[in-house]
Amino acid sequence: MTKPSAKLMTIASLLAVSGAAQAHPGHDHAHWFSDVNHLLFYGTIAAVIGAGALVVRSRRKAAARKGESEE
């Protein structure tokens, strides 16, 4: 039996969780904490995207340095 790829496992996990995440009743947008809650949520998403961009950038730099040293 072959080993499933990381991409396949990620897609399967997202599909399995997405229905449950969308089925929650939500929260009261009139509550005083709603704005803070949204700020924290979107701030976390921005931080994850930023961290991913930094990882990609550092790996590209490392690959470029490795290519220069082999020449």
pLDDT digits (tens, 9 = 90+) for 30-54: 888 889 988 999 999 999 999 999 9
Q: Which two tokens stand for residue 4?
A: 């499933």
Confidence check: pLDDT of 1 > 50: no
Model confidence at 25: pLDDT above 80? no
- Backbone φ, ψ for residue 5 (5° rounding): -75, 160
Q: CA 41, CA 25: separation in Å to the nearest integer?
A: 17
Cα four-point dihedral sign 44, 46, 61, 8: positive
Could you tell me the two tokens for 15? Answer: 């599909």
Residue 44, token pair as written in the block: 């976390």
Average pLDDT on 60-68 reads: 87
Q: Is the pLDDT assigned to residue 10 strictly greater than 60?
A: yes
Query: Per the structure block, which two tokens stand in for 62?
Result: 């490392």
Is the pLDDT assigned to residue 59 strictly greater than 70?
A: yes
